[in-house]
Every structure is written in C-alpha cells, then in structure tokens.
C-alpha cells in the first residue's frame, strides 16, 4: 500500500475515511471518544502539511434515512475540542452545498461530512455515489481499519475515481500489528479465543491453527467443544450443528502439534441471571439444567500458566459472561495473565476490548485493535477489500 507520507498533500483536497462510529448515551453525549482520538495524529499531520481536510464516516444503522439521533454533529464538536481548532460541519455528504464548502476550504482547514449511511448508496457501493465522493478530492486516504472489511462506496468504490489513494497511519498500524502478531510473530504464539458462538469464530479458529503454538478456548463456545468430546454440559449453550466441526478442529490441532486447551471446570448457574444461584464444578458435576457462564478457577489458572512463556498473544473473546460480576472471574484472571506477560499482546473485538477495560488491563496491552469485524476478518485469513482497493 502507498502511505499518506508518500504523497505531497500541500494545498490538496484530502478526503479521509475515518471511523467515528462512537457510542452515545440517551442525551446524545459521546461516552467513548477513543475512535476520534485514534485519528488525531493523521489530522495533525495533514494540518502541518497544509492539506485541505475532508473527513467522512458513518454512524450507527440509519438504513438510508436521515436520523437526527445519528448525526455526526456532536462528533464534530468533540473533534474541535480535541484538536483545539474549528472543524466545519456539512449537513450532508454529497451535493452542491457540500461541494461549495469543500471548494472554500483553505490549507489546514477541516470539514466533517454528515453520516455517509444517510444514503443507502454508501452500503450498496453505488458507483455514482462513489464518484460524487471522489469528485471532492485530489487525494483519498483510508484511515478506517474498522470498516475495511466492507465493500462500500467510501471504502472501495471511491478508490476507482480518486486521482490518488493511500493508507492513513491507523490503517497501516493495524495491518502491521496483525501481521507481526499472527503471520510473522515471535514464537511461541498463543491465541486466546472466547465468546458465545463457535459459528462466529469457526473460520478464524481453522486459520489460526496454521500459525499458533497454543490455542486456548473459553467462553460459551467452549461448551460445544466439550460436548464434542463426550461431556454432558446440561443446560449450557451448545451449537449442535457444529459438534463435528469442533471435533475436527481438535483433531487438526493434534496433527499440527498445536496445544489446544479447554476448560476442566466451570462456573455454572441455575439460569442466565446476575442474581442466579451459581457454583464452581468439575465437568462431570454440572447440575441438571444448569448452564456454564464462566470458566472455573482451576481452568483460569491453567490458561494463565499456558500464557506465561508466550512471546506473542492474540486475544479475541471473553471467557464468560463478564458483564455480570459473578461471572467475570475467569476473564479477569486470563486478562491479568496477558497483561503481566512480557509478550507482544494484541486485543481485537468490541466485547474483548470492553472486557479488558473492566479488568483494568488496557494500559498493559501492547495493541488494542479498533476494528472487531475487520480484525476477525484477518484472523480468518481473508483479505480486507479496503486494503485490496488501495493495492
């Protein structure tokens, strides 16, 4: 990929695809501005090099309709505060009025366009819409790793029409971090995979077996693996149609000499409720109808020890229902083991990042990925359309 640093941006109109899909509370206050903060180095670079900066993003799922609750206006205000500089706001992302605002930009000035997904043409990768976006700029920069697995107008379509295209700092950093941690890591490489469903991680698990030395599986998805090995997990969530696949992954791990670790004990509850009766049991002691909501303490300690000698750790998915205080213990022990390790550690996926925050280990993780879907896409061994377009 060509880098933004390879392009002379002086006095040029530079269209930057960012990811400002940030969370809001009921009063439309931004509750987490990390995705905005992640773009500041590129914006400051473009200001310093006298570019005319056009920022574009989506927010939420407005389904092609204008929704004031999904306007990027509050993001514009927050960005202005963060960079201590006025950021102009366009109330649309295409059209004559926007074109006029773009043409009025001076060197170093910034314009944020309204939500791209107020137009269905964005998600449909409409060619005419892509061209309208490209007509605003001399240079297109993709700095939105989190949407680079999408084949959409502002990600791939615009590249066909923009005079020059390149990658921004964040996209470069994400791709490099993935490559260094998975495809060209310091060994041993340990992958910690959790979450609710095998189906959502199946391709990633199969691909990771090519690279990892140890594969740790926790969360509700571990139930399917346990049942595939003859364990009666009683009322726990199981994907019956994937039992054979789970068994195949275990066999493939053996063939690849990958150490695959599954729970040996579980924290089970009478029902899925934060106030439910719960207890820690060995696999053959699960009470009838009870469900596993976390890995047990013995398992957490085994997982933690397996992480100790790692040189690289990839973590995607919690070990249990960490949102409930009763069932965060397994995730917390594993999270602190990762944080205390001297290995290069990379965390990807929205739930995993949230778990890392709740466990107070974010500052000790080497790299936090900004894109859950895109991160998983790479873990599956797939190319990102947004990156392919730039190549």
The domains of the chain are located at 4-167, 175-379
pLDDT under 50 in the chain at which residues?
A: none
Q: Which of 60, 350, 372, 381 is catalytic?
A: 350
CB 2 within 8 A of CB 165: yes
Asked about 350 being catalytic, the answer comes back as: yes
d(CA 34, CA 36) in angstroms, rounded, equals 5
**Which pLDDT score is estimated for 310?**
97
**Which of 4, 8, 391, 284 is closest to 169 using CA atoms?**
4
CATH topology of domain 175-379: Rossmann fold (3.40.50)
Please list, in sequence order, all residues whose beta carbon lies within 8 angstroms of the beta carbon of residue 225, skipping any fewer than 6 positions away.
198, 217, 246, 249, 250, 262
d(CA 155, CA 149) in angstroms, rounded, equals 9
Asked about 60 being catalytic, the answer comes back as: no
**Which of 185, 193, 156 is closest to 380 using CA atoms?**
193
Q: Which of 372, 373, 381, 382 is catalytic?
A: 373
**Which pLDDT score is estimated for 350?**
76
d(CA 9, CA 239) in angstroms, rounded, equals 52
DSSP structure string for 6-18? GS--TT-EEEEE-
**Which pLDDT score is estimated for 46?**
98
Q: Which of 35, 123, 201, 332 is catalytic?
A: 35
Angle, helices 221-228 vs 243-255, to 10°: value is 80
Please, is 324 exposed, middle or buried when counting C-beta atoms within 10 Å of its C-beta (0-12, 13-18, 19+)? Answer: middle
d(CA 363, CA 113) in angstroms, rounded, equals 32
Compute CA 286 distance to the chain's CA centroid, rounded to the nearest angstrom.
34
Q: Which of 197, 234, 298, 357 is catalytic?
A: 197
How far is residue 276 from each of residues 78, 267, 268, 289, 357, measured CA to CA in Å? 41, 12, 10, 13, 25
CATH code for the domain defined by 4-167 = 3.40.50.1260
How far is residue 329 from each of residues 145, 336, 368, measured CA to CA in Å? 31, 11, 21
Asked about 326 being catalytic, the answer comes back as: no
Angle, helices 169-178 vs 40-48, to 10°: value is 140
Asked about 197 being catalytic, the answer comes back as: yes
**Which of 120, 130, 126 is closest to 162 using CA atoms?**
130
Question: Looking at residue 69, what DSSP letter applies?
Answer: G
């Amino acid at each position: 990929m060509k880098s933004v640093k390879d392009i002379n941006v002086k006095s040029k109109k530079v269209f930057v695809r960012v990811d400002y899909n940030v969370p809001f509370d009921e009063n439309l206050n931004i509750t987490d501005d990390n995705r905005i903060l992640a773009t500041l180095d590129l914006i400051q670079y473009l200001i310093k090099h006298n570019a005319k900066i056009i920022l574009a993003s989506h927010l939420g799922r407005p389904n092609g309709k204008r929704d004031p609750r999904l306007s990027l206006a509050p993001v514009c205000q927050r960005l202005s505060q963060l960079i201590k500089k006025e950021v102009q706001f366009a109330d649309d992302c295409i059209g004559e009025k926007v074109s006029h605002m773009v043409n009025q930009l001076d060197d170093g000035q910034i314009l944020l366009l309204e939500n791209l997904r107020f137009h269905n043409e964005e998600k449909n990768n409409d060619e005419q819409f892509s061209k309208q976006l490209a007509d605003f700029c001399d240079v297109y920069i993709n700095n939105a790793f989190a949407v680079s697995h999408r084949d959409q107008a502002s990600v791939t379509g615009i590249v066909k029409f923009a005079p020059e295209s390149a990658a921004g700092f964040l996209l470069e950093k994400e791709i490099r971090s993935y490559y260094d941690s998975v495809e060209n890591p310091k060994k041993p490489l340990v992958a910690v995979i959790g979450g609710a469903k095998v189906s959502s991680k199946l391709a990633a698990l199969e691909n990771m077996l090519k690279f990892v030395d140890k594969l740790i599986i926790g969360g509700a998805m571990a139930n399917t693996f346990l049942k595939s090995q003859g364990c009666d997990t009683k009322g726990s969530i199981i994907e019956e149609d994937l039992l054979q696949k789970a068994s195949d992954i275990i066999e493939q791990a053996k063939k690849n000499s990958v150490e695959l670790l599954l729970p040996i004990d579980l924290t089970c509850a009478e029902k899925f409720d934060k106030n439910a009766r719960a207890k820690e049991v060995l696999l053959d002691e699960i009470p009838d109808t009870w469900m596993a909501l976390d890995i047990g303490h013995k398992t957490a300690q085994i997982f933690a020890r397996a992480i100790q000698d790692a040189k690289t750790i990839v973590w995607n998915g919690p070990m249990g229902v960490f949102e409930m205080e009763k069932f965060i213990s397994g995730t917390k022990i594993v999270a602190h083991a990762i944080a205390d390790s001297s290995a290069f550690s990379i965390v990807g996926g929205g739930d995993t990042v949230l778990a890392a925050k709740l466990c107070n280990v974010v500052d000790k993780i080497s790299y936090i990925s900004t894109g859950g879907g895109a991160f998983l896409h790479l873990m599956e061994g797939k190319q990102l359309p947004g990156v392919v377009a730039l190549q």
